[in-house]
Amino acid sequence: MVLLILSSSFARAEWRIEAETGVVYNSNLSNSDRSADVRDDWAWRSDISAGDGLQLTRDLRLNLGADLRGDVWDRFGAFNTIGPGASAGLRYRFGLGRQAPWVLLENRFGYDRFQDTAQSGCDNVLNFEAGIALSDRIALEGGYAFESFVAPNDFYDREVHRGNARMVFDVTSSLQVTVGYTYREGDVISYAVPPRPDIARFSIEREDQDQFGQPLRTAYKLLGRTNAVSFSVAYHLMKYASVQLGYEYAVTTHDPLQYENHLVQANIAVAY
């Protein structure tokens, strides 16, 4: 029966191609708590995806997609990465129209190949999102995600739980503003010039690394809690394209360690 529905829907497949490219700046790529250890950098980030939306019933939509993502960092090339991924998601809308509440269950599986190949591995994100329009101009969205990254080098294995909420404002027909909050709990890797017995005491694992050059740093894997607030703006340039600007301020703690990240992103997004 499922195959019958799918084959029937494939006959009416609706392909959508999306591409984003732009720059991202991370004020603390090394996730360091001491200012002497902090290394910032910016990267050129691109993402291209092709997806197919299959409307299975009036309210239920199956999305299948494939994507290719990449980062090229200016100074710290060890973090350059490229990776393909595939995703599948079901979206259910409780009624008709864009103001109807919706829920989305989605899974993306991908492979990230780093220039520093020891960091390469497979990542999987299971994402649950929901949204509701509060008016024709304001929407509330939020969700929970479980992220896991598995690398041949166990040191880079990570598991993360993430919850987020955001308000989306359609300020004008061309301008959309989003204010968000994210709570993240899980493995983080923080780099510091040794000796750091204070961090070593509670780190899960540690390795000496050279991704940030000299002096050599030690990478500490920790369980961290991150609170982040974000502000994003999208301006629709034309029918298929928009320019997007985003800022996020994140504080990660694992007593007594605490570090901050300022993330700034600017990109052009195209969808067809």
- Of positions 3, 97, 195, 214, contacts other proteins by CB under 8 A: 97
Min dist CB 60 to other proteins, Å, is 11
Q: Which of residues 173-202 bind other proteins (CB under 8 A)?
A: 173-174, 176, 178
- Give how far Cα 270 sits from Cα of 3, 167, 171, 257, Å: 32, 23, 21, 40
Where are the alpha helices (H) located in the chain, listed in sequence order? 2-10, 197-200
Single out the residue of 87, 71, 151, 143 nearest to residue 117, CA to CA: 151
CB 134, min distance to other proteins, A:
13
By CB under 8 A, which span of 37-45, 181-189, 209-217, 235-243 interacts with other proteins? 235-243
**Dihedral-angle region of residue 31 (phi above 0 means left; psi in -120 to 50 means alpha; beta otherwise):** left
77 is a contact residue toward other proteins (CB under 8 A): no
The CA–CA distances, whole Å, from 75 to 29, 156, 213 equal 11, 21, 10
Given 14, 74, 154, 198, the residue binding other proteins (CB under 8 A): 14
Rounded Cα distance, 226 and 94, in Å: 33
Instruction: Answer for the pair 138, 166: CB distance below 8 angstroms, yes or no.
Output: no
Whichever of 202 and 240 has its CB closer to other proteins, that residue is: 240
Nearest C-alpha neighbor of 190 from the set 37, 80, 10: 37
Tokens of 267: 């990109």
Nearer CB in complex with other proteins: 8/117: 8
Which C-beta is closer to other proteins: that of 72 or that of 245? 245
Q: Of the two residues 129 and 205, which places its CB atom closer to other proteins in the complex?
A: 129
Site residues for other proteins, 52-71, by CB under 8 A, read 53, 55, 58, 61, 63
The piece of 98-106, 111-119, 197-205, 254-262 that touches other proteins (CB under 8 A) is: 98-106
168 vs 250 by CB, closer to other proteins:
168
Interaction of residue 228 with other proteins, rule CB under 8 A:
no
Using the rule CB under 8 A, give the single segment among 10-18, 152-160, 219-227, 257-265 that binds other proteins: 10-18
Residue 52's contacts (CB-CB under 8 Å, 6 or more residues apart) are 13, 14, 15, 16, 63, 64, 65
Token pair belonging to 134: 């509060």
Is 4 one of the binding residues for other proteins (CB under 8 A)?
no
The CB-of-234 to other proteins minimum distance in angstroms stands at 5
Burial of 136 (0-12, 13-18, 19+ CB in 10 A): exposed
Integer Cα distance of 135 and 169 in angstroms: 10
Q: Contact residues for other proteins (CB under 8 A)?
A: 12, 14, 16, 18, 20, 53, 55, 58, 61, 63, 89, 91, 93, 96-98, 102, 104, 129, 131, 136-137, 139, 141, 143, 168, 170, 172-174, 176, 178, 232-234, 236-242, 244, 269-271
